[in-house]
Amino acid sequence: MTKHKVYLSFGRHGRYGDDTAIMREDMLKSYIMGQNLHQIMPCCAAVYHSPLARAQQTAQFQALGLDCAHLLECDFLHEDCDKFSVRKFINQLIINTAENVSYYHMVTHQPVVEKLGLPFLAAGEVCLLTAENWTEMLADNFAVQVIKLPEITPEFWQKLDLTLAQLENLSAVEIYQKLQGLS
């Protein structure tokens, strides 16, 4: 990672759950995705998310993994938002970014990803945009990389001190609290 580069990442929400906004296993995968991004990226200035529950919940778990306290709801990341509004939001964010900020993460939906002209993302995957500076990012002069949804390793289950069966019996709040204990 070179310090002068800047980054935007767009994550697609996790899979729908039966009685939660996203499946419990995807809560863990979202956290792990956030941790993986945290290891390779500079400090994340903010995590923006669509107002829909599945995006909000994915963002919450990714922000925890990213160690980012700034979790912000954004109507312009809603799946029904028009292309012009999505682009305007992103452009305004870039234009108003301080020089010392080099990374933002967004959690949204496939229709928004398509409107931005980014590659298809499966549920939970992330598209990372890298540019030399914010002016280049604004000019759409960036490299694109798709980051696949991570698997939950046996070591992670052991560290979490849970099984998949036990996980299914926990609420989203209890899972979040359990993950906070790992940080």
What are the tens digits of pLDDT across the range 129-148?
A: 999 999 999 999 999 999 99
Residue-level pLDDT at 16: 82
Q: Which of 12-16, 79-83, 177-181 has the lowest mean pLDDT?
A: 12-16
Side chain identity at residue 116, one-letter code: L
What stretch of H or E contains 179? Answer: helix 172-180
Q: Is the pTM of the predicted complex or chain greater than 0.85?
A: yes
Q: Are 77 and 135 in contact (CB under 8 A)?
A: no
